[in-house]
Amino acid sequence: MTAKPKIAIAWLGSCGGCDEAVVDINKDILKVAEATDIIFWPVALDFKYHHLEALGKGEIALSIINGNVRNSEHEEVAKLIRAKTRVVLAFGACACFGGTPGMANFRSKEDIFNWVYRDAPTVVNPKGNYPQPRSQPNGKELTLPEFYEQVFALNQIIDVDYYLPGCPPPPDLILNAIDAFLEDKLPPKGSTLAPQKALCDSCKRNTTKPRNVEIHDIKRIHEVEASPDICFLAQDIICMGIATRGGCGESCININLPCRGCFGPVEGVKDAGAKYVSALASMLEAEDDKDLKKLVDKIDDLPGYLYRFSLPSSILVKKRK
Amino acid sequence: MAGFEPKLVCFSCKFGWGYLGDEAKIDSQVKNRVPIICSGKVDATHILDAFKAGADGVLILGCSEDNCHYQDGNLEAQKRVYLLQKVLAAYGIEPERVKVELSTDPEGKKIAEAVKRFSEAIKKLGPLGKAEVEVSRVA
């Protein structure tokens, strides 16, 4: 009998939702546990880093890594896992593109520290203490991971074999990915294990999308009673579906919320935000400059809309100094 | 800033700018000129790529109002740039570093002048700040 393939599930800079998504495959998790040997999963099982260190090079068949790389601990763990693994799957929007925490790249580390440890109204810090990688309280040395200047997507730190986007990835795509791995049917290295087309392609509201979308006003979803059947763009509500990879199961659309873009760019596109700018510009209906400015200025935090999940992997990556 | 010579990229529409002129002469006067068919063809991605490649400013020369060969490509370019300027500001890039100029210049005599004027404006802003992105850490 051949040994079962060893699997690791790791979290870096993430919220835990991706680990929860693995559990959400429900009873099929038992099938995975049966077919594989889960040797590392800090969220669910009691494993330590030294267990990883003890493994041989390439001993892990598949590592499912969620979360971005924001500090030195994330980098160290990512590199350790890579060295021990044959196939690395970047799992979820944070690992694939940097994710929502990646929007911190619109701020410097200094701005973030000043707000979190000094200026936020709930902070009391009279001595002005900021976390340090090394400190010596009572003569003892304590260490903390170093907080980096920016958020990184996983492939900016280690070589990544496959991508499964989403916030979090849906159960059907997770199972497909695991099945493809177990049956040795994975596509070429570098592939995203999700459909290649935009969300609009599978959106049930697509039939109500006008041939030429004309946006005359900008409305936010909480400001209106949106129709549950009509294309959001036709209702003057910004929906990222036109520039976002499909495969999520339209979970937001189904509860009458526009797409926010967690599946990242469609196949072949590097920067979904830039593509959306071009598309949105042609949809905005303005008589003149004044009209246009009025319309655009109504969009609250356009960069946030465009790069909600993908700023670290966008063309310009982060704020200039 | 003394001695600062901005690196610029100039997209110019072939329908309105320089189609009767000597291209080689225009190119000898203007570095990094990208002749295009309609300013509406300039995608936001092209502009971001230019900044990523080290440009300090991007100038788009489109046809004058009501003179677009494709009806309203020039106005589309203006809309696109106005949206993109909002995005650039979040990246710490001054919106003035992208400009759309609409006019008609078949001989292409005004291209060098337009670039010079733009260059003077960019000189006042100084070089584009570095993102100081730590180089890829991939081993």
Q: For position B139, what pLDDT does the model report?
A: 41
- Between helix B73-90 and helix A289-297 the angle, nearest 10°, is 40
Average predicted confidence (pLDDT) for chain B: 91
**Count of alpha carbons within 13 angstroms of residue A251, beta-carbon side:** 12
Predicted structure pTM score: 0.93
Q: Do A163 and A14 lie in a common domain?
A: yes
**What ipTM was estimated for this complex?**
0.92
Residue A168 in any domain: the answer is yes
Considering chain B, what percentage of its residues have pLDDT values greater than 70?
92
B76 → chain A, closest CA residue: A282
Contact A303 B90 (CB under 8 A): yes
- CATH number where A20 lies: 3.40.50.700
Q: Do A174 and A212 lie in a common domain?
A: no
Q: For position B131, what pLDDT does the model report?
A: 65
Which chain A residues have a beta carbon less than 8 Å from that of B134?
148-150
Q: Do A171 and A254 lie in a common domain?
A: no
Mean predicted confidence (pLDDT) in A150-159: 97
Tell me whether A321 touches chain B (CB under 8 Å): yes
Residue B135 has pLDDT above 50, yes or no: no
Contact A296 B139 (CB under 8 A): no
Q: What beta strand segments (E) does chain A contain? A: 6-11, 37-40, 60-66, 69-71, 85-91, 134-135, 142-143, 147-152, 162-164
Q: Quick one: pLDDT band at residue B132, thresholds 50, 70, 90?
A: low
Average predicted confidence (pLDDT) for chain A: 95
Mean predicted confidence (pLDDT) in B56-77: 94
Q: Do A253 and A171 lie in a common domain?
A: no
Q: For position A256, what pLDDT does the model report?
A: 97
Domains for chain B: give ranges and CATH numbers. Answer: 8-125 (3.40.1360)
Q: Do A159 and A271 lie in a common domain?
A: no
Q: Quick one: pLDDT band at residue A287, thresholds 50, 70, 90?
A: confident
Considering chain B, what percentage of its residues have pLDDT values greater than 90?
86
Residue A105 in any domain: the answer is no
Contact B52 A289 (CB under 8 A): no
CB count, 10 Å around CB of B69?
Answer: 14
Residue B35: asked if its preceding bond is cis (omega within 30°), the reply is no
Contact B48 A293 (CB under 8 A): no
**Which range (A23-27, A89-93, B45-49, B100-104) has the least confidence?**
A23-27
Considering chain A, what percentage of its residues have pLDDT values greater than 90?
94
Residue A283 in any domain: the answer is yes
Q: Do A159 and A21 lie in a common domain?
A: yes
Domain that holds residue A86: 6-100+150-182
Q: Do A168 and A43 lie in a common domain?
A: yes
Contact B93 A320 (CB under 8 A): yes
Q: Do A159 and A27 lie in a common domain?
A: yes
Q: For position A289, what pLDDT does the model report?
A: 86
Q: Do A156 and A223 lie in a common domain?
A: no
User: 8-67 in B: which are within 8 Å (CB) of A?
Assistant: 43-45, 47-49, 51-52
Considering its fold, how many domains does chain A have in total?
2
Residue A278 in any domain: the answer is yes
User: 126-155 in A: which are within 8 Å (CB) of B?
Assistant: 148-150, 152, 155
Q: Do A204 and A164 lie in a common domain?
A: no
The dihedral over CA atoms of B39, B40, B43, B44, expressed in degrees to the nearest 10, equals: 90
Q: Do A171 and A96 lie in a common domain?
A: yes
Q: Do A157 and A254 lie in a common domain?
A: no
| Structure tokens that stand for A254 in this block | 């189904």
Which residue type, as a one-letter code, is found at position A272? A
Which chain B residues have a beta carbon less than 8 Å from that of A158?
137-139
